[in-house]
Amino acid sequence: MSDKNSPLGSPKQNPDQNLETNPLPKDDSSLETIVRKIQDSMTLSKKHKFWETQPVGQFKDIGDTSLPEGLIEPPTPLFEVKQEPYNLPSPYEWTTCDMDSEDTCTEVYNLLKNNYVEDDENMFRFNYSKEFLSWALRPPGYYKSWHIGVRAKASKKLVAFITGIPARIRVRDEVVRMAEINFLCVHKKLRSKRLAPVMIKEVTRRVHLENIWQAAYTAGVVLPTPITTCQYWHRSLNPKKLIDVGFSRLGPRMTMSRTIKLYKLPDSPATPGFRKMELRDVPAVTRLLRNYLSQFVVSPDFDENDVEHWLLPTEGVVDSYLVESPETNDVTDFCSFYTLPSSILGNQNYSILKAAYSYYNVSTKTPLLQLMNDALIVAKQKDFDVFNALDVMRNESFLKELKFGPGDGQLHYYLYNYRIRNALSPSELGLVLL
Ligand SMILES: CC(C)(COP(=O)(O)OP(=O)(O)OC[C@H]1O[C@@H](n2cnc3c(N)ncnc32)[C@H](O)[C@@H]1OP(=O)(O)O)[C@@H](O)C(=O)NCCC(=O)NCCS
């Protein structure tokens, strides 16, 4: 598996990476691992002219246990927050993107479709659907002013984008109002001109104007300083297509027909009472989820409104299933995944890779392994090519057994203006960002 540019080259890691369909155990002494370690150590000593000025954990402070956990800088009085937008280079202007407008949604969709995250080998690029963007950017209490675009003044073309949405995130026993920052994108022709720091400062300013002082975000690049570093795992559902498009390779001593047999799944879920989540399930799912998430160090603090928005099935965007006990009618288990296709760049036969991403899963009665196997079965029924999952929460307990293979990119999680003394392990994290 190659990982040429990571972690320096690819921003938020597109997990659509080469995957051996029969993954070999990672060898710590492999050349790849040694190269990665050298790259990582170079990254740590690298200057971050922008990030060094921000209230984030700094590399120089790693291991300094005298620093307190919690906010890094106290909030400033609201009247001291800069009232006017940051300056852009003169050919460009700010725009607030109205995601209720079909036309604006299409403009954002096209900017991301052509310029957003690619894998290290530029074979795949995320292709978030318009319906997905509309869902991801309009949760309860969202702010239109946090959907920020940059246009070329002359042509009015949208050339850059960044967003925030409000969220309550619990860190240990403190629930903090935060912004979740996502969809940072600068048009390919405008890269390396230091536009990204201006966009980050502008979204931060608009977040401050709402009296919110913390944020959560992820990236495939190493910045000061990850609270944890996760890995994507991939479960082939359509191995032939994945191999044909170069997403995965035929394992050693494997034939195509043996590979197809290896990944074959039953036609329908096995668990009695396994069904799609409905509106009437929101209270029970909220209880189940809140209880489950409370065991992790960092997680969202979901209420019923959040669960209705984020987890009630939305066609082509998010799928949720639960187990209703046939005896007691109690909701005992829950699983969900969201739909994020990638464009396949330069393949004659295929243009879209249909990927499902594991979202939140809770098991209390059905073993998690069996629950996730049922999730794989419904994803296969819905014609997904691959099922992706991070090694967060309890996911490690099913990945290997359900034939997920490790991907070759890492996803780093960050908090803005909130210090965590020691990095967390992925299994201490209860947060999935889209
Ligand atoms: C990410 C992206 C917007 C950065 O823009 P750019 O033109 O490459 O970089 P700029 O010259 O504008 O800015 C560089 C600064 O932004 C920071 N930066 C780069 N990617 C970043 C990211 N994903 N999150 C936060 N900061 C990032 C850099 O670390 C650097 O700051 P530093 O000097 O303190 O280290 C651009 O590469 C892009 O659109 N890539 C494809 C989409 C993507 O990966 N988005 C990010 C998803 S997390």
Q: Return the residue whose CA atom lies nearest to atom 5 of ligand 1.
A: 196
Residues 57 and 121 in one domain: yes
Q: Which long-range contacts (CB under 8 A, 24 or more apart) does 80-88 make?
A: 81/205, 81/208, 81/209, 82/205, 85/202, 85/205, 86/198, 86/201, 86/202, 86/205, 87/198, 88/150, 88/195, 88/198
Ligand 1 midpoint to CA 344 (Å): 23
Ligand 1 midpoint to CA 320 (Å): 33
Domain boundary among 180, 199, 219: 219
| 60 within some domain | yes
The conformation of residue 184, written as its DSSP 8-state character, comes to E
153: Cβ contacts below 8 Å, ≥ 6 apart: 90, 91, 92, 93
Ligand 1 midpoint to CA 196 (Å): 5
Helices (H), 19-115: 31-45, 102-115
By most ligand atoms within 8 Å of CB, the mutation choice from 128, 221, 414, 415 for ligand 1 is 221
Strand partners, 125: 118, 343
Contact between residue 414 and residue 184 where contact means Cβ atoms under 8 Å apart: no
Distance CA 90, CA 161 (A): 17
Helix (H) or strand (E) holding 147: strand 147-152
Residues 193 and 245 in one domain: no
Q: What is the atom index within ligand 1 of the atom nearest the CA of 187?
A: 39
Q: Is residue 59 lining ligand 1, measured as CB closer than 6 Å?
A: no
pLDDT of residue 10: 32
Short-list 121, 163, 20, CA closest to 342: 121
Q: Return the residue whose CA atom lies nearest to atom 18 of ligand 1.
A: 196
Distance CA 306, CA 299 (A): 13
pLDDT of residue 45: 59
Q: What is the atom index within ligand 1 of the atom nearest the CA of 190?
A: 7
Quote the distance between the C-alpha of residue 126 and its chain's center: 11
Distance CA 159, CA 357 (A): 28
Assigned token pair, 64? 């300094």
pLDDT of residue 38: 44
Pairing of strands 147-152, 274-276: unpaired
Q: Each residue of 108-129: pLDDT tens digit? A: 999 999 999 999 999 999 999 9
* Residue 190 phi, psi (nearest 5): -115, 20
Q: Return the residue whose CA atom lies nearest to atom 20 of ligand 1.
A: 11
Q: Where are the beta strands (DSSP E) in 279-317?
A: 298-300
Short-list 124, 114, 130, CA closest to 354: 124
**92, 224, 421, 14 alpha-carbon torsion, rounded to 10°:** 80
Residues 210 and 243 in one domain: no
Distance CA 164, CA 377 (A): 34
Q: Each residue of 274-333: pLDDT tens digit? A: 999 999 999 999 999 999 999 999 999 999 999 999 999 999 999 999 999 999 999 999
Domain boundary among 192, 219, 246: 219
Q: Return the residue whose CA atom lies nearest to atom 14 of ligand 1.
A: 194
Residues 208 and 278 in one domain: no
Q: Is residue 264 lining ligand 1, measured as CB closer than 6 Å?
A: no
| 171 within some domain | yes
Q: What is the atom index within ligand 1 of the atom nearest the CA of 186?
A: 39
pLDDT of residue 41: 52
* Structural domains counted in the chain: 2
Q: Is residue 219 lining ligand 1, measured as CB closer than 6 Å?
A: yes
Contact between residue 405 and residue 23 where contact means Cβ atoms under 8 Å apart: yes
Residues 243 and 390 in one domain: yes
Ligand 1 midpoint to CA 250 (Å): 34
Distance CA 207, CA 214 (A): 9
Burial class, 330, CB count within 10 angstroms (exposed 0-12 / middle 13-18 / buried 19+): middle
Strand partners, 92: 152
Domain containing residue 124: 43-219
Does the pTM surpass 0.75? The reply is yes
Contact between residue 113 and residue 127 where contact means Cβ atoms under 8 Å apart: yes
Per-residue pLDDT of the chain (434 residues; tens, 9 = 90+): 332 222 222 334 555 554 555 433 334 445 444 445 444 555 555 799 999 999 999 999 999 999 999 999 999 999 999 999 999 999 999 999 999 999 999 999 999 999 999 999 999 999 999 999 999 999 999 999 999 999 999 999 999 999 999 999 999 999 999 999 999 999 999 999 999 999 999 999 999 999 999 999 999 999 999 999 999 999 999 999 999 999 999 999 999 999 999 999 999 999 999 999 999 999 999 999 999 999 999 999 999 999 999 999 999 999 999 999 999 999 999 999 999 999 999 999 999 999 999 999 999 999 999 999 999 999 999 999 999 999 999 999 999 999 999 998 899 999 999 999 999 999 999 999 99
By most ligand atoms within 8 Å of CB, the mutation choice from 125, 186, 198 for ligand 1 is 186
| 255 within some domain | yes
Domain boundary among 196, 219, 242: 219
pLDDT of residue 26: 37
- DSSP conformation letters of 253-281: T--HHHHHHHT---SS--STTEEE--GGG
Q: Is residue 12 lining ligand 1, measured as CB closer than 6 Å?
A: yes
| 266 within some domain | yes
Residues 267 and 337 in one domain: yes
Contact between residue 187 and residue 165 where contact means Cβ atoms under 8 Å apart: no
Q: Is residue 193 lining ligand 1, measured as CB closer than 6 Å?
A: yes
| 23 within some domain | no
Domain of residue 119, CATH code: 3.40.630.30
Ligand 1 midpoint to CA 66 (Å): 31
Residues 388 and 245 in one domain: yes
* 133 labelled catalytic: no
Distance CA 41, CA 36 (A): 9
Q: Is residue 191 lining ligand 1, measured as CB closer than 6 Å?
A: yes
Ligand 1 midpoint to CA 11 (Å): 7
Short-list 149, 187, 141, CA closest to 165: 141
